[in-house]
Amino acid sequence: MKYDISAATLIDYPNIDRIQSNAFATPWSKELIRSAILNGKYDVRVMKVEHKPVAGFYIAHATNGRSNLDNLAVDLHLRGMGMGRKLLEDWIERACLQKTAKLSLQVNTKNKGAQRLYQCFTFKKVRLLSGYYPNGDDAYQMEMPIKQQQVTAKARQA
Ligand SMILES: CC(C)(COP(=O)(O)OP(=O)(O)OC[C@H]1O[C@@H](n2cnc3c(N)ncnc32)[C@H](O)[C@@H]1OP(=O)(O)O)[C@@H](O)C(=O)NCCC(=O)NCCS
């Protein structure tokens, strides 16, 4: 399937909101997504495929040589087709270009599917964040140092 990943614009934000509202028990507010698109410190990237305005997206931000994945979701009807993997590859490739030393993310301890995806990319659980989400759910902090250029290649083989 042909796809393209590019910077989100305000045209995309209702679709991002729809996808993440279907994905999370505690989604971001519409206003927060809108602000992230407008704020140059956030990297909001959307995946577009034929016939779908937005198939998936991620939001990341960089501070002190570290890039954190703040949000990632794929349209409910398009999961299991490799799109989450492509979005993660895009994030990692961009972080490598920006000379980022470490990648980090937080994932719900109950979200085994996403944990498996991150493990394919060699992310490791480094700590438990108790009550991290507004509904009281716990998260794992997962991290990966960027030393090797073959990160993406390794994930492709997984
Ligand atoms: C997590 C998510 C982004 C993955 O996107 P996706 O396009 O379905 O994932 P892919 O098809 O690229 O899967 C890549 C790999 O991830 C793992 N994986 C992804 N979803 C999985 C699931 N539900 N169960 C088990 N493994 C899963 C598998 O290892 C898979 O490789 P395989 O198909 O060769 O076994 C998507 O399921 C989603 O939007 N979930 C809801 C939101 C969410 O949980 N976001 C992450 C927040 S931390």
> Over the stretch 4-47, which tens digit does the pLDDT of each residue have?
999 999 999 999 999 999 999 999 999 999 999 999 999 999 99
**Entry pTM:** 0.93
Q: Rounded to the nearest whole angstrom, what is the distance from the C-alpha of residue 92 to the centroid of ligand 1?
A: 16
d(Cα 149, Cα 60) in Å, to the nearest integer?
20
Best mutation site among 59, 68, 117, 137 for ligand 1, i.e. most ligand atoms within 8 A of its Cβ?
117
Q: What is the mean pLDDT of residues 47-70?
A: 94
The answer to whether residues 142 and 88 touch, using CB atoms and an 8 Å cutoff, is no
pLDDT tier for residue 128 given thresholds of 50, 70 and 90: very high
Q: Which of 152, 143, 138 is nearest to 104 (CA)?
A: 143
- Bridge-based pairing of strands 102-108 and 66-74 is parallel
Look at the domain 3-157 and name its fold.
Aminopeptidase (3.40.630)
Report the pLDDT value the prediction gives residue 1, as an integer from 0 to 100.
80
User: Does residue 117's CB lie within 6 angstroms of at least one atom of ligand 1?
Assistant: yes
Q: Please say if the pLDDT value at position 151 is more than 70.
A: no
- The reply to whether ligand 1 has any atom less than 6 angstroms from the CB of 87 is no
Mean pLDDT calculated for residue range 116-141:
97
Q: What spacing in Å lies between the alpha carbon of 6 and ligand 1's midpoint?
A: 20
Residue 101 CB partners (closer than 8 Å, separation 6+): 65, 66, 145, 146
Q: Is the pLDDT of residue 148 over 70?
A: no
- Which pLDDT belongs to residue 98? 86
Domain extent listing, the chain: 3-157
Distance 79 CA to ligand 1 centre (A): 7
pLDDT of residue 48: 97
Residue 73 has a pLDDT of 98
The helix (H) or strand (E) run that includes residue 15 is helix 13-23
**Sheet strands (E) in the chain:** 3-7, 42-49, 52-63, 66-74, 102-108, 124-129, 139-145
